[in-house]
Every structure is written in C-alpha cells, then in structure tokens.
Amino acid sequence: MTKKKNMTRNLLIILILSLCYGDSFSQSKYGPDSVSCVTNLSLFREYYKQKNYKEALNPWRWTFQNCPKSSGNIYKNGTIIIKSIMKDRLDKKKEYVDTLMLIYDQRIKYFGEEGYVLGRKGADLMRYDKSNYKFANEILSKSIALQKNNSDAGAILAYFNTLDIMVKKGVVSEDSLLNTYSYLMSIIDHNLKKNDRKSKFYEKTSEAINKKIVNYIDCGKIENIFRRKLISNSNDTDYVNRLYNILEKQNCIQTDFYYEVAQRLYEMIPSSNLASKLAKVCVKKSEFKKAIRYFDLAIEAEINDEKKAKYILEKADAYRISKEFVNAIITAKKSTDIQKNWGEAFMTIGNIYIAGAKYCGSNFENSTVYWIAVDYFTRALSDEITAERARKSISIYSKYFPTKEECFFNGSLQSGDSYIIECWINQKTTVRTSD
C-alpha cells in the first residue's frame, strides 16, 4: 500500500504541475511525457531497491530512452542492473557490454564528471571485454589525464593492465610502461598518504601492479632507462621522488644508482627517514664516516623519540661494524636515555661487547667480556619484545664464560666476586663460570 500511495502522489504532483505550467514543465528534465517519466522512474527505483533487477529493466530502459536528464540514478543504478542481467545472458554479452558503454557516455553527456566516469567505463570494458584493450587504454588514459591524483584505484589498475597486454603484444615499449608505472605509483602513493577508507583499494592496486612489473624490469634496466632522464629532470622534485620510489619498490637499494637518486632527493627534500636510509647504504659500502654523518642528520632532524632512539641504535651498530667499539657502546647507551628499559638497546649493547671480546688480549680476558654481555642480555629479559632473543643469547654466551679452573689461575676468582673488565671496556661485573 505504501508503494502505491507514493507512486500515486508522484503522479498527482506531475499532473498539477503540468496543468499549472503547461509546455514549460513538459520540456523540463522529465521530458515531453513527464507523467510516464516519473511513473517509470519510480517503478525502476522501487524494483532496484528490492534488487529485483529483471523487473527494473523495462521501466529503467524507458527512462533511459525518453527522459535521460530526469535523474543521475538512471546511470548509477543502470550499470548495476545491466551487469546483473548480463551474468545470466552470456549469449548476449556483447550487446550488454555495448549498453554499458552507452550508459557511461550518456551519463557524461547529461551529468558531466567526465574524468571519473571514463575511469569506470574503461575499468568495466577491461573487466568484461579484454579483447578491446586498445579502446580501454584510450578511455583510461584520458580519465587519468583528467583526474590526476583523484584517479580511482580501479581505473589505475585497469589502465596498467591495458599496458601490460600492449607490451606483450609489442604495441607499447617496456620503456613507456616503466614511465607510466612511475606516474601511476606517484598517484597511488599520494592517496595512500591520506589513510582514509579508500586506502585499502590503493594498497591492493599497488600490490597487483608491482607483481606484474617485476616481469619487465630489474635494477640494471631501471638504471639504463632512467639515468639519462634523471640528468634532464634533476631539479624536478616529483620526478626524482617517483624514481626513488620505483627503486625502493623494486628492492634496488643496494645499487649505486639508488644511492645517487636518494642523495639527490635528500638535497631537495631532506628528511630523517631518508638520511637514515642513506646512512645504511653507506654502511653497506663500508663508507663509515659518511654513514655516521647521515645518521647524525637523521637523529638531529627526528622529533619522534621512538624513531630518534632507533636511529641512535643504528648509528651504534655502524660503529660496531667498523670495529669502533668504544664509540658503539657510548652511542648505544644514549638510546636508553630516550627509551628507558628498551630491550632492543640492551641486546645491541650486549652484541657490541660480543663483537669486541676477541680484542681484549688473552683468552681468559676475552672470555670475561661475555660476563658483561650477558649482564645486558639479562636486562633485555624485562622487555616482552626481546625476552625470547635475550634468553637464547644468555644460553649461548654463558657457555663461553671462563671455567672454575681458569678463574682460579687468574687471581683466585670465585663465582659472585666483583670484577672490573679493563681492555677497552673498563666496567664492573660479576664473576661466573661455565661449569
């Protein structure tokens, strides 16, 4: 009864308006037959709300053909109606796909939003008719050119898929694919930074694209393609940033080209995160002075205490690798001033002592260093994150403690005695034995 009352009310409104305004109303958005338009519009909308798409089809078709300006729902709902019916009419799939394309064209004609609608159109064409990839590519290319950073995740993925097919068929070069990949990833990264409800779609698109791009490129190819272009675009922040992201995503962080690009980007947009990454590259290259300088820049620029402590610890580890054990210990202990009772710091300090143990003279002196290392591993037990690793380290390195006999012959030492480890350490600990 309610549905019939609503429909009757709509019809009465139309009739009254028609009598009052005559021809001017008939030429409104409802078209020359306004009563039939409102009737069919109401019918298809009611059936649509009930998800009765078969019954919705005929009144929808009437409004689509006779009063196309009456409502945007004709186009928004129409695509869903056609897609639903198409599932059961695969014998007429081509006709339904053509209808789908027409719906999008009419939507643009009467309601605008060209860039957005073209994105939907191209994505659906790729979904239902991949053989028409060239046309889909044209549609999606125009959509992305219009939408730029506002491009939908679905349109981006569909566009890349058209290029994927075109490269395989020899229509588009791999160089062109890589350039487009760079631009598309910049759009994705822009939207991921928003961290809103749409982010998950951009994440899935990013994953799908990166799975495919590895079939075409390696680190050497990226350098061959982009090195010359980097020279001509060295002052273009967006370009350098896109190239940096490509190298990151393709795990080319060990290459000299990555270092070059990262350095250039840091000069343009300095950040603690990028300084830290440059420092790590320098460590891998055994360029420790440069590494320390970049770590200092990262530490100085970072305002988040947790990240700052992390960079300090990474700097300490760089000193450890370069065998500067005193500086390594001093630096690592600074991280505990920021992050109290931080298990990761205690683990790092313990491992620094382990690394430097063999540089303390005699075998006995070397073995005493494990006392101080285990002292710090023990402190790491209080941190849930490091507790299990700490237990393993204690178990392993306690076996390297001096024996009772060795302790006896080196000062008549007994378990529990206080002992100062000299060498480069100069720290008090407690005597323990391995037996």
Instruction: For tokens 């998800």, name the residue.
Output: 51
Q: Rounded distance, CA 354 to CA 372, Å? A: 9
CB under 8 A, 24+ apart: contacts of 26-35 = 29/67, 29/69, 29/70, 29/71, 30/67, 30/70, 31/66, 31/67, 31/69, 31/70, 33/66, 33/67, 34/67, 35/11
List, for residues 330-362, the tens digit of each pLDDT value.
999 999 999 988 999 999 999 999 999 999 888
Mean model confidence pLDDT for the chain: 88
Question: For residue 427, what are the β-bridge partners?
Answer: 421
Residue 9 has pLDDT above 80, yes or no: no
Q: Is the pLDDT of residue 328 over 50?
A: yes
Give the pLDDT mean for 206-233.
82
CA distances from 409 to 375, 403, 404 (A): 24, 10, 9
Please, are residues 74 and 42 in contact by the beta-carbon 8 Å criterion? no
* Angle at CA of residue 412, ends 411 and 416, nearest 5°: 105
Name, of 33-42, 166-175, 402-411, the range with top average pLDDT: 402-411
Q: Reply yes or no on whether the pLDDT at 14 is more than 50.
A: no
Q: Percentage of residues in the chain with pLDDT exceeding 70?
A: 94
Dist. CA 76–CA 147, nearest whole Å: 19
Name the pLDDT band for 192 (thresholds 50, 70, 90).
confident
pLDDT-wise least confident of 21-35, 285-299, 400-414: 21-35
**Residue burial 281-301, b: 16+ Cβ < 10 Å; e: rest:** bbbeeebbebbbebbebbbeb
Distance (Å, whole) CA 77 – CA 309: 54
The pLDDT score that the predictor gives to residue 19 is 45
Average pLDDT over residues 13-33: 56
Give the model's confidence band at 6: pLDDT under 50 very low, under 70 low, under 90 confident, else very high: low
Three-state DSSP class for residue 420: strand
Give, in order, the Cα–Cα distances in Å from 324 to each of 23, 328, 358, 363, 368.
92, 6, 13, 21, 20
Decide: residue 303, CB within 10 A, 0-12 exposed, 13-18 middle, 19+ buried: exposed
* DSSP state letter for 425: T
Report d(CA 171, CA 295) in Å as an integer: 47
3-state secondary structure of 419: strand
SS3 222: helix
Query: Is residue 188 exposed (0-12), middle (13-18) or buried (19+ Cβ within 10 Å)?
Result: buried
For position 25, what pLDDT does the model report? 46
What b/e readout covers 316-354, taking b as 16+ CB neighbours within 10 angstroms? bbbbbebebbebbbebbebbbebbeebbbbbbbbbbbbb
| Res 118 pLDDT > 80 | yes
pLDDT at 22: 44
DSSP string covering 110-129, please?
A: HH--HHHHHHHHHHHHHHH-
pLDDT score at 266:
94
Helix axes 305-321, 343-356, angle to 10 degrees: 10
pLDDT at residue 12, rounded to an integer: 54
In this prediction, residue 371 carries a pLDDT of: 96
The mean pLDDT value for 303-308 works out to: 95
